[in-house]
Amino acid sequence: MAAGTPLLKDELDIVIPTIRNLDFLEMWRPFFQPYHLIIVQDGDPSKIIKVPEGFDYELYNRNDINKILGPKASCISFKDSACRCFGYMVSKKKYIFTIDDDCFVAKDPSGKDINALEQHIKNLLSPSTPYFFNTLYDPYAEGADFVRGYPFSLREGVPTAVSHGLWLNIPDYDAPTQLVKPSERNTRYVNAVLTIPKGTLFPMCGMNLAFDRELIGPAMYFGLMGDGQPIGRYDDMWAGWCTKVICDHLGLGIKTGLPYIWHSKASNPFVNLKKEYKGIFWQEEIIPFFQSATLPKDCTTVQKCYIELSKQVKEKLTNVDPYFTKLADAMVTWIEAWDELNPAKDSAKLPNGSA
């Protein structure tokens, strides 16, 4: 057992979306027990969700979300893991780690349990290098440094806003890939963390993810998905694309690689195909939209950036499908709800650099 206080014990919340009893927490107990959990219960609010003894947690179901947000609750998805972003909104901590309830503790190649949370924290607390690629990956990792030819003026790096972890066992595939490779498993453990370069998008998976809520929280909206919407399973992708554009604009970094978790079960590819079907076509137009999106200089906060992006979504993606008008409106509602629940901290940043 590691001596001393766990890293960021009072500055980090763990957000878990679920529809079932959280027995999986037993496996994570050595790593999660010191931290506060925010559980977002999806589906039937009358169902009682059991949480193992000894965890410090708050649990919100759909009735709570409706009570807290009122009419603005319409921006929180129902019957989709996108409901997790409500937990980001009600948290009062600087950092968030979010994990799915089918994710277990993985082992490194030496057979040792991986403390995923600790690695995410290390990623977030060290800088990113989006402007120049270091061929030894993370130059701040133990036993690594900047290679010859790396400009000294860029070695300070930029603040890290997001740490994107990976998975062993069941890979995060879309439904068509699941269908053609039903028995494929990821057994490759790559001991590396790298910064995603500026101007490059990536597919963000929400099942093993950490971020600096104060730096990027308002951009971490997982969209309108699931029940009543024509699309599902693109919630984390949407958040990732928006977040990357905003991080690039504001000079923030995103890391991917370690830590690994053990993803225990593949979801049904036929059910997934039904949810993803439209997204598979739409993404071919959504991605070029994000690749070419630019934000004006006066967008000096995440909120301003996000509102600007919502305008561009309405302007340029509505011709793909009317759904994007609804999504753009929900993006604005999300920011309004975020600012209502987080007035002081985020608005305190507004005067900075706004001259």
Whole-number pLDDT of residue 347: 41
Angstrom distance (rounded) from CA 204 to CA 238: 8
> Which two tokens mark 301?
């906060």
Residue 1 to residues 29, 40, 118, Cα–Cα distance (Å) = 12, 30, 13
Angstrom distance (rounded) from CA 45 to CA 79: 11
Residue 282 to residues 121, 287, 308, 322, Cα–Cα distance (Å) = 34, 9, 21, 12
- Average the pLDDT over 115-143 and give the result: 97
Whole-number pLDDT of residue 344: 62
What's the whole-number average pLDDT of the chain?
Answer: 94
| Among 81, 116, 77, CA closest to 100 | 81
Whole-number pLDDT of residue 226: 93
Percent of the chain's residues with pLDDT above 70: 95
- Average the pLDDT over 49-64 and give the result: 98
Name residue, tokens 């302007």. Answer: 315
| Among 213, 205, 202, CA closest to 248 | 202
Alpha helices in 167-234 (DSSP H): 175-180, 213-216
pLDDT digits (tens, 9 = 90+) for 241-251: 999 999 999 99
- Average the pLDDT over 345-354 and give the result: 42
Angstrom distance (rounded) from CA 319 to CA 191: 43
Cβ(244)–Cβ(101) below 8 Å: no
